[in-house]
């Protein structure tokens, strides 16, 4: 059985709090905290300690994880060197890449290649590291994508996303003139019974969905919006904007005219708290060459 030991040297300004409260502050999910406690898998300065133990500056904390702690303990993505990965940020536990449009985030079956996770596997191979998926971007979407390098930080990052600690901001060109400067779209989203590929406002098994939008500029009856996700439903931005009457330009599923050669949706920034430190990192993904930003550019 595989094991992972994660070591953290606490900072000089470490607060005098219990191990339990520090694990909570690091957004380690309750299930993992319970596993560590039950297995007595926490060492402080080399000695097993209960979670009530108070931490001090410069202490060394060791956490022992096992396979059953994780949904996906072992990464098995096939290496594919077809596309060079554009790395925006990287540390020992994760990286943020600039995903190109036109590629799936992950394979759908064992042995599949040609996806972003395959490309990241190739990038990490020479470092003797492997990728783990945290979240996904749709095939036609470009921009900042978080990828983990070990299974330990995946549930932590997922917890941060669910708690809205990690914020993802998008830019999208949409059809039509948006009159107001900002607003919120809050219609629930479910499956489209007429097309299994699609989602629909108030569709089957609809779940709450919230999108915040801000107008950036307008040109030729088109509007550039800045978008923020408060929830993460499949196709959320695409469905909310289409239902509003302002579909994303070039969306192959939700914009009937297909008025541009690609879908103009780009994950432009990620506000990221680094696991086991909670240090804040802003990561920006430059706009690709086929994503117009100049107001003088006519979209058609």
pLDDT one digit per residue (tens) for the chain, 300 residues: 799 999 999 999 999 999 999 999 999 999 999 999 999 999 999 999 999 999 999 999 999 999 999 999 999 999 999 999 999 999 999 999 999 999 999 999 999 999 999 999 999 999 999 999 999 999 999 999 999 999 999 999 999 999 999 999 999 999 999 989 999 999 999 999 999 999 999 999 999 999 999 999 998 889 999 999 998 899 999 999 999 999 999 999 999 877 788 999 999 999 999 999 979 999 999 999 999 876 455 555
| CA 158/CA 119 separation, integer angstroms | 22
> Tokens representing 196?
């299994």
CA 91 to chain centre: 16
* CATH fold match for the domains 3-69 and 167-267: no
Question: Would you call 138 a catalytic residue per the annotation?
Answer: yes
What share of residues in the chain are helix, strand, coil (percent, to 5)? Answer: 15, 30, 50
> Tokens representing 212?
């915040």
> Tokens representing 109?
């079956």
72-163 topology per CATH:
Pseudouridine synthase (3.30.2350)
Beta strands in 69-166 (DSSP E): 87-90, 94-99, 132-133, 142-148
3-69 topology per CATH:
3.10.290
Sign of CA dihedral 65, 69, 74, 75: negative
In whole angstroms, how far apart are CA 211 and each of 2, 62, 183, 222? 40, 39, 9, 19
CATH 3.40.50.170 fits 167-267, yes or no: no
| CA 27/CA 275 separation, integer angstroms | 8
Domain boundaries, the chain: 3-69, 72-163, 167-267
Which residue out of 59, 69, 93, 138 is catalytically annotated?
138
Residues 6+ apart with CB under 8 A from 15: 55
């Amino acid at each position: 059985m595989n094991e992972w030991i994660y070591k953290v040297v606490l900072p000089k300004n470490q607060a005098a709090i219990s191990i339990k409260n520090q694990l909570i502050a690091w957004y380690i999910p309750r299930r993992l905290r319970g596993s560590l406690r039950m297995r007595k898998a926490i060492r402080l300065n080399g000695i097993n300690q209960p979670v009530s133990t108070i931490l001090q500056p410069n202490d060394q904390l060791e956490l022992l994880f096992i396979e059953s702690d994780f949904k996906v303990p072992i990464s098995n993505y096939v290496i594919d060197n077809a596309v060079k990965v554009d790395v925006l940020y990287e540390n020992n536990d994760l990286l943020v890449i600039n995903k190109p449009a036109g590629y799936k985030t992950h394979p759908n079956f064992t042995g599949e290649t040609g996806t972003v996770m395959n490309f990241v596997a190739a990038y990490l191979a020479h470092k003797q590291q492997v990728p783990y998926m945290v979240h996904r971007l749709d095939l036609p979407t470009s921009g900042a994508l978080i990828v983990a390098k070990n299974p330990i930080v995946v549930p932590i990052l997922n917890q941060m996303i669910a708690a809205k600690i990690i914020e993802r901001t998008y830019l999208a060109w949409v059809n039509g003139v948006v009159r107001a400067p900002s607003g919120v779209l809050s219609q629930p989203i479910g499956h489209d019974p007429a097309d299994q590929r699609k989602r629909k406002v108030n569709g089957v098994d609809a779940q709450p969905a919230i999108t915040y939008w801000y107008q950036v500029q307008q040109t030729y009856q088109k509007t550039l919006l800045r978008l923020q996700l408060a929830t993460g439903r499949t196709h959320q931005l695409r469905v909310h904007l289409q239902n509003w009457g302002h579909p994303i330009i070039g969306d192959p599923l939700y914009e009937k005219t297909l008025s541009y050669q690609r879908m103009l949706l780009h994950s432009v920034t990620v506000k990221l708290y680094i696991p086991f430190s909670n240090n804040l990192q802003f990561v920006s993904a430059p706009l690709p060459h086929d994503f117009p930003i100049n107001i003088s550019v006519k979209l058609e």
